[in-house]
Amino acid sequence: MVKNSFAGIKALVMGLGLNGGGIESARYLALRGAEVSVTDLRDEKILAPSIEKLEAGIEGATIRYILGRHDMEDFEKADMVIKNPGVRPDSPYLKKARRIETDISLFLAASPARLSAVTGSKGKSTTASALHWVLKEAREYHGLPGKAFLGGNITVSPLTFLDELEEGDDVVLELSSWQLGDVKGRTKENSKDNGTPAPLLKPRAAVLTAIMPDHLDRYGTMEAYIADKRIIYQGQDSCDATVARDDEWGRSFHRESKGRPLVYSAQPLLEGIAGGWLTPNGGPGIARIANGKLVEVVPEKLLTPGDHQKMNLLAASLALLDLGIDADFIRESIGRFPGIEHRLEFFMESKGVRFYNDSAATIPEAAAAAIAALGSPVLVTGGTDKNLDYAPFIKAAPKAKAILLLAGTGSEKIRKLLDAAGTPYKGPYDSAGAAAKAAMEIAQRGDAIALSPGCTSFGMFLNEFDRGNKWKEAVRKYAEA
């Protein structure tokens, strides 16, 4: 069990948020004696659920709140500022901070567990969840020592389980580019490896999923965006493994990483290359292990649809093999993996129509992948723009039975492109309910209706998870009417 003291430290949490990171940072520090203040540009009304959750978990500790604004004086006086990943590193407030931490950096500094880390543009939540699923089942079925935990960008702060961790446990962290950028070049205090400070982030297995344009409204260029992704393996050495695709980005990751390269591909790998591939026509995923023997690690039939999902599970399987999990067990456990919420999530069927929630599809390529995975769905898409190229979605759109747009700046760009391509659409609709009702009027028995936005959620929704939950609520309301 981890016991760190922050007695007397003046800690300022910048961004309480709605998904756990700020809440858990404030709780973690308050329970260890820090004088905690919380500042957020959102007001008390919006943050009420987060404040209620925080207050219920601090056992009498007192927290000061500065809401609806930031005061520069708070940043100047704080010994430590804990930033939300969404806060840009060039914030003028952060320039006044003496020390900057995040919930991830606080966790990494204290965790005794073996770490696997996953990043990428799309597929990282599925890959991280599958890794955790198999590691957890390996303990349940085979009595392996320790426990398995999952956290990070998947909306579970690892600080929630830090106190439970012991050596022999496994932790899987999903890490966004923003979270990785926040730990760049960081080392552990009072810890040295071969005479040099030990890196703060040193995953035993680092997995990089599909790389696609994303967050260019913040980064400006793909190179700047990918530079933060590269941080995931920069603390590794030859005792660790780096799993990446056989594309241009993946090859550059493997050239740079000091970890053992493991390649995953849609095509058979050349002899001598360690990794795995998918067999043709929707077949199983194969891995080549150390002695050259081929083993099946991903079954042909999965509970989650789509070849892109099978690629994610192949990447997870290669990491699991390197972590010492038996190939036969990986295949069996992956076959039981149910997928995760908001990622092509099948959540109900009504009158012969299947309904999916793919709200985490926040880039055009992901919405295009949903069309491919579901065949010819009635697709609800669109939202807020983040300076992305919508061409991949426009190319896939004619394969959908119908396209319905949610209102937003991204949808306005999509409308113009669909008009130019001669692809029909309906909308834009100003609520999830209006879009759901319209989609049900189009769909027939045997069809699939999916929310797969290809855009960010801000404007109409608090975040992608709020969007997905409101979609499911709307579908259930109108399907039962």
CA atoms in the 13 A half-sphere facing the CB of 95: 3
| CB neighbour burial string for 314-331, b if at least 16 within 10 angstroms, e if fewer | bbbbbbbbbbebebebbb
In the chain, what is the straight-line distance between the N-terminal and C-terminal CA atoms, in Å?
51
* Residue 44 CB burial class (10 angstroms; 0-12, 13-18, ≥19): exposed
Number of H helices, E strands in the chain: 16, 22
Distance CA 450, CA 370 (A): 8
Q: Are 459 and 408 in contact (CB under 8 A)?
A: yes
Any binding-site annotation on 209? no
Any binding-site annotation on 221? no
Distance CA 151, CA 163 (A): 14
Amino acid letter, residue 37: S
Any binding-site annotation on 426? no
Any binding-site annotation on 124? yes
Residue 5 CA to its chain's centroid (Å): 30
Residue 428, preceding bond cis, omega within 30 degrees?
Answer: yes
Distance CA 3, CA 337 (A): 34
Tell me the two tokens of residue 147: 């426990």
Tell me the two tokens of residue 320: 């699991």
Any binding-site annotation on 351? no
90 φ/ψ sector (left φ>0, alpha ψ -120 to 50, else beta): alpha
Sign of the alpha-carbon dihedral angle for 100, 103, 108, 109: positive
The H-or-E segment that residue 319 falls in is helix 307-322
Any binding-site annotation on 409? no
Distance CA 34, CA 27 (A): 10
Any binding-site annotation on 122? yes
Give the C-alpha distances (Å, rounded to integers) separating 163 from 4, 135, 170, 185, 443: 10, 20, 14, 26, 49
User: Per the annotation, where are the binding residues for ATP?
Assistant: 120-126
User: Per the annotation, where are the binding residues?
Assistant: 120-126
